[in-house]
Amino acid sequence: MSGLEERLRALEDRACILDLIAGYGPLADSGNGAGIGALWAEGGSYSFEMAGETTTLRGAEIGGLVELESHRELMAAGCAHFLSAPSVRIDGDTATAVNHSVVLVHRDGIWVAERVSANHWTLTRTDDGWRVANRTNALLTGDESARDLLAR
Amino acid sequence: MSGLEERLRALEDRACILDLIAGYGPLADSGNGAGIGALWAEGGSYSFEMAGETTTLRGAEIGGLVELESHRELMAAGCAHFLSAPSVRIDGDTATAVNHSVVLVHRDGIWVAERVSANHWTLTRTDDGWRVANRTNALLTGDESARDLLAR
Amino acid sequence: MSGLEERLRALEDRACILDLIAGYGPLADSGNGAGIGALWAEGGSYSFEMAGETTTLRGAEIGGLVELESHRELMAAGCAHFLSAPSVRIDGDTATAVNHSVVLVHRDGIWVAERVSANHWTLTRTDDGWRVANRTNALLTGDESARDLLAR
């Protein structure tokens, strides 16, 4: 029996992680900072490129990204934070995932891909289920460092 | 035992819903109206924006969308109805899902994102498995009403 | 008991296939030819359109696609091979999947969808798990043959 339970739990872990990551885009585009914050584990971090620099938000700062001037401008224009289904590796109470994200922005009647990024996620099992420990996002502009995020 | 069976069924429900939604794009782009119709439950509905107005199709009308002049033009040009993996909440015999969709259209040698939408899905368990009860789709052009679809 | 085990295995099969396909884009964009090759079963094939012709790679050639001049140019410019979550049908030891893929390329500060394709995958259960037996990819430029890939 324990074999079945273990296999079932592995599938539940995977389903939970996929749904967690699938939740990011809808939360970002509806401006739900509290919802974004709740995706992360306590003490978690989110690093991304903005204006040529790497910004790292931690803890309660992460949900605050929806208040950034740059994010507000995207929402006002009309935007989609569109993520691809990640490839996931689970190892006990931690997991890693890699995927792509595209930010599509409404400009002059069509939508333009203004950001296309590689994402590397580290996830952790908490008492409340799986949460993001770290997300690192880098623009795919030809730099090896961004490509390396997808190489795990 | 019932605990395991219940957990297994929850995973099967989720897999079925994800596959149902993943089927929409390929059916739309291959012009399979009957296949699209079969995704919906009897009496289901699909609301979307077109030419500045909200159109709601019901029942057999839904599969008929592939016969619309606008849809035929997209297929002739070359198009992809590209949906993101949804975030899904299941509650007994009903479920909700939110995701993005992009319609990419072949124009002058590249593909242009001519529609980028928020989608809110309500699903229902039928005797034949999970089906769509309602899908509401709204263009992400900065309107709060479209963003609110992603807020569930 | 066997009923539960069989249902569990069906879910494991599906999870494995979805993860296999989700792995393609990150491997392609990080230039990991060996990793791409490992997605395919021995003797497998990958057919795609390039410069108006259909190219079919087999076996060890498949991982070699990252060495193609066209692929190197995409990686240098900055690119994302962005795949949609597939719809999957499993029948014993074989499966089929259909989805979309988009190649987004960094050009003049934004990303352009230079390839948008229909994909039909045949998968096979091997001693090492599920692997791709065949992937056929065709550009969605209005041709019926590309649309037909999505019709299974």
Classify A34 as helix, strand or coil.
Answer: helix
State the ipTM, two decimals: 0.96
| The pLDDT value given to residue C52 | 85
- The rounded distance, in Å, linking the Cα atoms of C50 and C59 is 19
With CB atoms and an 8 Å threshold, state whether A146 touches C4: no
- Whether the CA torsion C94, C96, C97, C102 is positive or negative: it is positive
* CATH code (residue A132): 3.10.450.50
Per-residue pLDDT band for B16 (boundaries 50, 70, 90) equals very high
**Residue of B1, B30, B73 to mutate, interface with C, max C Cβ within 10 Å:** B30
- The rounded distance, in Å, linking the Cα atoms of B104 and C84 is 13
Residues of A in contact with B147 (CB under 8 A): 29-31, 75
- The rounded distance, in Å, linking the Cα atoms of A21 and B18 is 14
| The pLDDT value given to residue C84 | 98
Tokens standing for residue C20: 């296999």
Query: Considering only alpha carbons, which residue of chain A is nearest residue B9?
Result: A8
| The pLDDT value given to residue A101 | 98
Is the separation of the CB atoms in B35 and B27 below 8 Å? yes
Reading chain A (152 residues) residue by residue, the pLDDT tens digits are 469 999 999 999 999 999 999 999 999 999 999 999 999 999 999 999 988 899 999 998 999 999 999 999 999 999 999 999 999 999 999 999 999 999 999 999 999 999 999 999 999 999 999 999 999 999 999 999 999 999 97
- The rounded distance, in Å, linking the Cα atoms of C120 and C97 is 6
Q: Provide mean pLDDT across the span B43-65.
A: 94
Query: Considering only alpha carbons, which residue of chain C is nearest residue A150?
Result: C26
Query: What average pLDDT does chain B have?
Result: 96
| The pLDDT value given to residue C85 | 97
DSSP bridge partners of C110: C107
| The pLDDT value given to residue C2 | 67
Q: Which residue in the set B5, B29, B77 is minimally distant from C150, CB to CB?
A: B29
Structural domain boundaries enclosing C76: 2-150
Farthest CA pair distance, chain B: 59
Assign residue A78 a region (left: φ > 0; alpha: ψ between -120 and 50; beta: otherwise). Answer: left
| The pLDDT value given to residue B50 | 85
| The pLDDT value given to residue B2 | 67
Q: Provide mean pLDDT across the span B132-140.
A: 98
Residues of B in contact with A31 (CB under 8 A): 147
- The rounded distance, in Å, linking the Cα atoms of A123 and A131 is 6
- The rounded distance, in Å, linking the Cα atoms of B20 and B16 is 6
| Dihedrals phi, psi of B146, to nearest 5 degrees | -70, -45
pLDDT tens per residue across span C24-54: 999 999 999 999 999 999 999 999 998 889 9
Is the separation of the CB atoms in B102 and A104 below 8 Å? yes
Query: Considering only alpha carbons, which residue of chain A is nearest residue C107?
Result: A141
| The pLDDT value given to residue C25 | 98
Choose the weakest-confidence range: A47-51, B1-5, B13-17, B95-99.
B1-5
Per the structure, the count of domains in chain B is 1
- The rounded distance, in Å, linking the Cα atoms of C19 and C34 is 17
Burial class (CB in 10 A: 0-12, 13-18, 19+), B106: buried
State the Cα angle at C144 between C100 and C98, rounded to 5°. Answer: 25
Is the separation of the CB atoms in B146 and B138 below 8 Å? yes
DSSP bridge partners of A94: A91, A124
Query: What average pLDDT does chain C have?
Result: 96
Is the separation of the CB atoms in A113 and A142 below 8 Å? no
- The rounded distance, in Å, linking the Cα atoms of B11 and A12 is 7
Find where tokens 């060495």 sit: C67
Tokens standing for residue A40: 């992360």
Q: In sequence order, what are the residues at sequence separation of 6 or more whose Cβ sits closer than 8 angstroms to the Cβ of residue B28?
A: B36, B65, B66, B71, B81
| The pLDDT value given to residue C152 | 77
Classify C86 as helix, strand or coil.
Answer: coil
DSSP string, B12-24: HHHHHHHHHHHHH
